[in-house]
Amino acid sequence: MEVIMDWVSSHIIEILTFLLVCITGVYAFLTWRYVRLTRDILEENQQMRLDAQKPEIAIYLRSDSTGPTYMYLYVENIGVGPAYDVKFTTDLCFRLPGNHSLGQRVPFLGRGIRYLPPEKIRMELLGSGLDIGMRELMQRQLEIAAAYKDSMRKKYEESFCLDFREHGGS
């Protein structure tokens, strides 16, 4: 027993150093794990914040079924965040009844929309069933692309195919 006590007393510094290294290693591992979990939580929180501010633009046609058919173009922000700098790309040479271009009849398609809050709808009358050329229009399709940004200036792009035939064409 005395031999063991002599050995321990002569090697106490090495024993304590070894224990300190082991404890430091465990502490370093736990710190690394905590930092990693904190980073994951932070990334998830940032993604949730971005998703909570994400705009989403929808462009669609709607016709009025009462009386002469009125055709409306709707641009709606169906997302939960505001849309900024909404720009539209389409064939502006597309002719509407009365020989109007799409840009003349729907001015915001040419100049864009600076700010579109959530649940906001912009609506423009394209024409009615009494307009000359409306039957020809009802045989057409139109592609409109929308590019916009969210509050963090992240860019989004979506494309919509508007089919006038679904609203009274053959």
> What is the Cβ-side half-sphere exposure of residue 155, based on CA atoms within 13 angstroms?
4
pLDDT at 28: 97
Is the model's pTM score more than 0.75?
no
How buried is 120 (Cβ within 10 angstroms: 0-12 exposed, 13-18 middle, 19+ buried)? middle
Helices (H), the chain: 2-10, 12-51, 102-105, 107-111, 134-137
Average pLDDT (121-141) is 75
Over range 143-163, report the average pLDDT: 92
pLDDT in tens, 72-85: 889 999 999 999 99
Contact 74, 125 (CB under 8 A): no
How large is the average pLDDT for residues 18-26? 96
Class for domain 57-167, per CATH? mainly beta
Res 109: pLDDT: 85
Contact criterion met (CB below 8 Å) for 55 and 79: yes
